[in-house]
Structure formats: C-alpha cells, structure tokens
Amino acid sequence: MATVETRGVKKYYGDVVAVNGVDLVTKDGEFLVLLGPSGCGKTTLLRMIAGFETPSAGELVIAGEVVNDLPPRARKIAMVFQSYALYPHMTVFKNIAFPLKAQRVAKAAIPQKVEWAASLFGIGHLLHRKPRELSGGERQRVALARALVREPAVFLLDEPLSNLDAQLRASARDELQQFQRRIGTTTIYVTHDQVEAMGLGDRIAVMKAGTVRQIGTPQEIYHEPADTFVARFVGSPPMNLVQHQNYVLGFRPEQFLPKGSQNGIGSVITFPFRVTRVEYLGADRLLYGTLGGAFSDQKVIARLPSTVTVDIKSETAYDFSVEDKELKFFDTSTELRISTRPL
C-alpha cells in the first residue's frame, strides 16, 4: 500500500517543455487515470515516476520516500507497457518468474508464486509457451501477471489496452478494474481514450501541454469541467461551446433536446436550432446544425436518445432547449469555468 506524489515536477528536453510543473497526490489504493491528447506529457510523467526519465525539477515521492535518485528497480513499482514488452526469448513462466529471480526470491518459492499470478489472469495453461505464440489478449494478461507477481506498491500502466481490438478492450477494461479493486494496489494509468478513463478511473487527471488542467472523479470531470479544454476533450460528441456576449456558454449534446422533451421540471432556455444533418446511430440520433438568433450561426450538436421520437428533418429549423442548471459558463479569455452565470 502506498501513495504517489509529484511535487512541481517538470521535464525539459532542450527548449521543449514536456511536463511543466505537475502536482499530484494519489490516494492509497486509488485508480488514477492520466488522460490527455498525445504529446500532453502524460507518458513522460509516468516514465518519470517509473524512473526511466529524470525530472528537470521537482520531487517524486513514492510511499513517503523521495525517489528522484533511485533507479526503477528500487522504487517498488511495476509497469505494464503499451507493447507489453514481454521478453520474447523466454516462456510465459520465465517471463513471470523474471522479476522474482531479479529480486532474489528463494528458488523454491518461485513456481508457486508464478502459478498464483498466472491463475489470477487465467493463463495457467500457457506457461510453457513463448510470447509470439500468444494472442494479443493473452500477452496483455502475461504482462499484467508479470507486473503483479512481486506484489508492487504501485502499478503503472501505459495504455495497456490500446493494442487490443475494440471488443476485447471492453472486456479487458472490466477485468482490469475488478482485479485492481481486488488487490487494492495504487494504480496510475495513462490513456488518451476518454471512454477508458471514465470507465476505469476513481479519479481522472486531465492533462494538456504538460500541465494538469483538472483532477477529479469522472462525474466531476464530465459535469463540472474546469475549463473549455476539459469540456471539449471529455465526452463524445464534445460539449457544445458557443460565444455569447462576453462569455462562453457550454452545454452537453444530450442536454440539448427538442423543446418539451425535457424530463426535468426546472426552467429551460430555448434556442432556435437549424438542423443541417441527421446521423442515425441506433441508440441515438446526432443532429448537426447551427444556432440562430443571438447566437449567429454557431455550430452545435444535439444527441437525441431513441426515447425521443420527435421527427427531425435536415435543413429545417426547430426550437431546442437546455435546462437552466445544465448550462456552464466559461471566461472568454482565461477559458476557465465561471461558477455563477455572468450578467
């Protein structure tokens, strides 16, 4: 059991700033997701925690100990790589046993531990195979078993699901979360996939350009985005942001419904909405179009669940509305969210 803390961590490569002052504290046993677009510094941050990169400034603390100067092997961490990084010349058994041997675990205890780790992931029957004889999903389990076998204080996962096909990814996500809950090891998980982040994380740290823009539970990130970047990065389709007077108005596509379809009893705000294109996706319809009136042709998307059966045609104007409490406001210049409605 351990926590990971980064204190003002920075990383420069020459003039390029990869990580620009990150302060994070994980809770004990937490599943923390680092989410951001490629190049935002999330992998660099993870590699610094692992010990592959040295921070240019700041402190890294694992389990209460400053680890800046410790090599990876002394940090009580285990890592799963995007490529899995299995040792290709070793059998699955030897792959899983390698960290144990490296840590000089008694020889007699090794087979038992390997079998325990393998059984956790249902790969007991693959122990004598080489990595190249395994499917993508099996390789991923071997990588997890190898990381788990020596019971690390912290798990670091670098996009471990991105090499799996979509169907496998969904079930692997589920397994990964169950497994993390069961062993309760603090986990830091890097991904650029917001669905993965929302589904897995106890908390999500959204990163952009080397800084953390917001850290919070999936609900907070989704419903209370700290700025326009988080608002647009999380959610698919992203939050509609329209310029209005001296602020930016935001609302989620699924809150933007034909007038009268709202379930709530709160007051609503109505917009004239000209639909230009209708996309039928089965469970919902996506309506692309522009706002009229005071919002002068700004593009927005509406997402109608299949329970809303109003007939919508393209190239037609409708009245759409958003519940008052679902409206978010952002400062035009700082892009930060304003908690109260500006006047």
Partner 1 sequence: MDSREQTAPAATDLARAQRRTVSIIDSERWLGPLLIGPAVLYIVLLVGLPFFMALYYSVSNTTTGGGTLGFVGLRNFTGVVGTPRFQTALKNTLIFALLSQTVILVLSNALALALQKDFHGKRLIRFLILLPWVAPISIGTIAWLWIFDSTYSVLNWTLRMAGLIQGQGFMWLGVPHLAMGSVIAVHVWRQLPLATVILLGGLSSIPQDIHDAAAVDGAGFWRHYFQITLPLILPISLVALLFGLIFTFTDMIIIYNLTRGGPYDSTQVLASLAFYTGIAGGDLAEGAAIALFLFPLLLAVAWGFLRIAHRTEVT
Residues 68 and 55: beta-carbon distance below 8 Å: yes
96 vs 198, beta carbon nearer partner 1: 96
14 is an interface residue for partner 1 by CB under 8 A: no
191 vs 255, beta carbon nearer partner 1: 191
19 vs 221, beta carbon nearer partner 1: 19
Q: Rounded to an integer, what distance in angstroms lies between the CA atom of residue 83 and that of residue 110? A: 25
Residues 223 and 229: beta-carbon distance below 8 Å: no
Contact residue for partner 1 among 25, 54, 73, 332 (CB under 8 A) = 73
Q: How far is the CB of 54 from partner 1 (least distance, A)?
A: 13
74 vs 281, beta carbon nearer partner 1: 74
Contact residue for partner 1 among 11, 32, 42, 51 (CB under 8 A) = 51
88 vs 293, beta carbon nearer partner 1: 88
Q: How far is the CB of 249 from partner 1 (least distance, A)?
A: 45
Q: Which residues contact 174 (CB under 8 A, 6 or more apart)?
A: none
Residues 50 and 75: beta-carbon distance below 8 Å: yes
Q: How far is the CB of 60 from partner 1 (least distance, A)?
A: 15
Q: How many CA atoms lie within 13 A of 116 on its CB side?
A: 11
Contact residue for partner 1 among 82, 217, 261, 298 (CB under 8 A) = 82
User: Residue 294 in 3-state DSSP?
Assistant: helix
Q: Rounded to an integer, what distance in angstroms lies between the CA atom of residue 53 and that of residue 318? A: 55
Contact residue for partner 1 among 36, 41, 55, 99 (CB under 8 A) = 99
Residues 214 and 42: beta-carbon distance below 8 Å: no
Residues 222 and 251: beta-carbon distance below 8 Å: no
The pair of three-digit structure tokens given for residue 147, joined into one six-digit string: 């990381």
Contact residue for partner 1 among 125, 132, 182, 313 (CB under 8 A) = 132
Q: Which residues bind partner 1 (CB under 8 A)?
A: 47, 50-52, 71-73, 77-79, 81-89, 98-99, 101-103, 130, 132, 146, 150
